[in-house]
A and B are shown apart, each in its own frame.
Chain A
Amino acid sequence: MSKLIPLAEAVRQFVRDGDLVYAAGFTHLIPFAAGHEIIRQRKRDLTLARATPDLIYDQMVAGGCARKVIFSYMGNPGVGSLRIVRAEIEAGRLDWEEYSHFGMISRLQAGATGLPFMPMNPTAAGDLERVNPNFRTVKDPYSGGEVVVVPALKPDVAIVHVQRADAEGNAHVWGIIGEQKEAAFAAERVILTAEEIVDENIIRSDPNRTLIPGFIVDAVCQVPYCAHPSYTQGYYDRYNVFYLKWDEISSNRDVTMSYLDEWVYGVSDRDEYWAKLGQEVRARLKISSRPSVTVDYGNY
């Protein structure tokens, strides 16, 4: 059964005020178009979870969508500070809950596998465990030693961007796979955005590449260039210029708001955004080809 709907419709149906949202993707495949749609629809009181909030959550916080962030590294990757989330936290206007990367991902792993919590070996640093009571210590029933545990994270909705999917949401992903699969399996509802919608036969031609099975997906949206200014491996490059530029934009509230006015509220969808970017930027993001050697599954 086809689950293909426009992204605006998917956000309207599956993202609700007050939700815990996990927009996945570690540097790669960050679903910016979905973040912008959430800002445009003025969703409120969201708890935004991501290992790395990245620019997408900086923008959603600037857009007034968030009540709280859950993260493990809050920076502008490769550039420096994530200014808006940081300023809101420093001003006491935004709640936050913080982990190490492994703690954060272990929470998702527990959520994705139906376990109540996940154990980790101790790191002894201590302070993060002291300030975040979700870190607990339990006795290893076998050795008698101690392990650190974190509770399952179960987002209300996960948003996952992929290279290609069929209309049911069976999705092929390659390149950095971050926490895409874990976020999708941990969440109650899943919005899948894809660069391309392909025939089921293409998915079936390479089943090992399917990271997310369609039966856990609620909505499938065809959104080319969804990840810009992050990237989609093999499709287009990361636009580092914008990551640098955001550092300037986000240092001033008025400039931030005019950015949102022009590039989020001022366009109706990603197609319009992409057209507005202009020929020169689009040309710069093109990449040359480096295909893998195909494998032979055998005809059985």
Chain B
Amino acid sequence: MADYTSPELLTINAARLLRDGDTVFVGVGLPNLACNLARRTHAPNLLMIYEAGVIGAQPARLPLSIGDPTLVSGALAVCSMYDIFAFYLQRGNVDVGFMGGAQIDRFGNVNATVIGDYAHPKVRLPGSGGSMEIAAWANRCYLLTPHSKRRFPSRLDFRTSAGFLGGRAERQAANLRGGGMLAVVTDLGIMEPDETGELVLTALHPGATVDQARENTGWELKVATDLRATLPPSPEELRILREDLDPHGIYLKGSA
């Protein structure tokens, strides 16, 4: 048994993908925790932007919604929703966008809209929110999710936002400004796009196996020739998460 939970593992590995000085379009939950963890470790100059129109947030408490008032108090700037999407995201001022979704396909396209037929949905999901534009225009997109066949089907029921579409060439032809889905962090490892844009397994977390990853992926998962092993969460990373960022375990509790 690992001495950390699956959400902790996802958050810590997401934090490590962030670079000092990045401007991040961030959602609540694990991405918010990952950004704050990165800010307290290797990326003190991370700039956090929230789709509610907050720039340079320094939340003093754990935000419980995308528009939590703690994001505003002490922020660098607040603007309208139109401005955040137009001046910041569409203009090309966002380095990293975090995506969420119920289904992700092999080219990193995401479904956050419906399971089943759109007009007669079996399960009606929340919908795009900001993700359609984040996926298209942020320079790097990341997604955190548990690893399961349900999450990684061979075919999406609906394509809410663009990864590499039918492959890297198709995204290039679409002339989108952002770089697309560059990493999917799961509780088993990390998937990154190869030269065709297909997500392949590039890293395994401690204790996870290639077979597990394959069994829990809905397409025939390829494995990178230079498959890496991620470093286990460090005591310091875990301490910051547990003591400072989510002391009540609202987002981070889960099974070890």
A interface list, Cβ under 8 A from B: 26-28, 51-52, 71-75, 77-78, 81-82, 86, 89-90, 92, 98-103, 105-106, 108-109, 120-128, 131, 145, 174-182, 231, 233, 237-238, 240, 243, 287, 290
A121 and B52 within 8 A (CB): no
Would you give the 0/1 interface string for B165-195, flagging 1 where the beta carbon is closer than 8 Å to chain A? 1000001001111000000000000000000
Given contact pairs A72-B128, A121-B177, A126 touches B80 in the complex (Cβ within 8 A):
no
Is B160 located at the chain interface by the 8 A CB criterion? yes
State the CA gap A57–B88 with chains docked (Å): 29
A to B CB contacts below 8 Å, 17 in the list: A28-B52, A71-B127, A73-B128, A77-B65, A81-B126, A90-B121, A105-B81, A105-B85, A109-B82, A120-B133, A122-B175, A122-B176, A123-B161, A125-B159, A176-B53, A178-B52, A178-B81
Given contact pairs A78-B28, A121-B90, A233-B72, A178 touches B66 in the complex (Cβ within 8 A):
no
Q: Which range holds the interface residue count of chain B?
A: 35 or more
Name the CB-closest residue of B to A231: B69
A102 and B124 within 8 A (CB): no
Is B118 located at the chain interface by the 8 A CB criterion? yes
State the CA gap A78–B66 with chains docked (Å): 7
A125 and B81 within 8 A (CB): no
Given contact pairs A78-B64, A86-B124, A182-B80, A125 touches B118 in the complex (Cβ within 8 A):
no
Is B51 located at the chain interface by the 8 A CB criterion? yes
State the CA gap A128–B136 with chains docked (Å): 14
**Interface of chain B, main secondary structure:** loop
Nearest CB of A to B94, in Å: 13
Name the CB-closest residue of A to B51: A101
Nearest CB of A to B137, in Å: 7
Nearest CB of A to B30, in Å: 13
Which residues of A sit under 8 angstroms from B132, Cβ to Cβ?
Answer: 100, 102-103, 123, 125, 128
Nearest CB of A to B145, in Å: 16
B126 and A74 within 8 A (CB): yes
Is B67 located at the chain interface by the 8 A CB criterion? yes
Given contact pairs A73-B128, A77-B67, A121-B90, A102 touches B133 in the complex (Cβ within 8 A):
yes
Nearest CB of A to B247, in Å: 16
Point out the residue from B78, B120, B165 that lies within 8 Å of A124, measured CB to CB. B165
B80 and A178 within 8 A (CB): yes
Which residues of B sit under 8 angstroms from A74, Cβ to Cβ?
Answer: 124, 126-127
Which residues of B sit under 8 angstroms from A121, Cβ to Cβ?
Answer: 90, 136-137, 177
A175 and B90 within 8 A (CB): no
State the CA gap A16–B95 with chains docked (Å): 45
Which residues of A sit under 8 angstroms from B53, Cβ to Cβ?
Answer: 26, 176-178
Would you give the 0/1 interface string for B118-146, flagging 1 where the beta carbon is closer than 8 Å to chain A? 11111110111111110111000000000
B160 and A127 within 8 A (CB): yes
Which residues of A sit under 8 angstroms from B86, Cβ to Cβ?
Answer: 102
Name the CB-closest residue of B to A104: B81
Which residues of A sit under 8 angstroms from B126, Cβ to Cβ?
Answer: 73-75, 81-82
Given contact pairs A26-B53, A121-B136, A182-B82, A240 touches B158 in the complex (Cβ within 8 A):
no
Which residues of B sit under 8 angstroms from A101, Cβ to Cβ?
Answer: 51, 81, 85, 128-130, 133
Instruction: Point out which of B65, B67, B79 has the most chain A C-beta atoms below 10 A from its C-beta.
Output: B67
Nearest CB of A to B146, in Å: 16
Nearest CB of A to B57, in Å: 11
Is B113 located at the chain interface by the 8 A CB criterion? yes
Is B23 located at the chain interface by the 8 A CB criterion? no
Which residues of A sit under 8 angstroms from B26, Cβ to Cβ?
Answer: none
A238 and B69 within 8 A (CB): yes
Which residues of B sit under 8 angstroms from A176, Cβ to Cβ?
Answer: 52-54, 67, 69, 71-72, 78
Nearest CB of B to A50, in Å: 12
Nearest CB of A to B71, in Å: 8
Which residues of B sit under 8 angstroms from A126, Cβ to Cβ?
Answer: 159, 162
Instruction: Point out which of A71, A74, A124, A243 has the most chain B C-beta atoms below 10 A from its C-beta.
Output: A124
Would you give the 0/1 interface string for B58-79, flagging 1 where the beta carbon is closer than 8 Å to chain A? 0000001111110111100011
Is B202 located at the chain interface by the 8 A CB criterion? no
Which residues of A sit under 8 angstroms from B73, Cβ to Cβ?
Answer: 290
Which residues of B sit under 8 angstroms from A73, Cβ to Cβ?
Answer: 126-130
Given contact pairs A26-B52, A73-B126, A78-B28, A123 touches B135 in the complex (Cβ within 8 A):
yes
Is B109 located at the chain interface by the 8 A CB criterion? yes
Which residues of A sit under 8 angstroms from B52, Cβ to Cβ?
Answer: 26-28, 176, 178
Which residues of B sit under 8 angstroms from A179, Cβ to Cβ?
Answer: 80-82
Name the CB-closest residue of A to B163: A125
State the CA gap A124–B170 with chains docked (Å): 10
Given contact pairs A71-B127, A123-B135, A176-B52, A181 touches B161 in the complex (Cβ within 8 A):
no
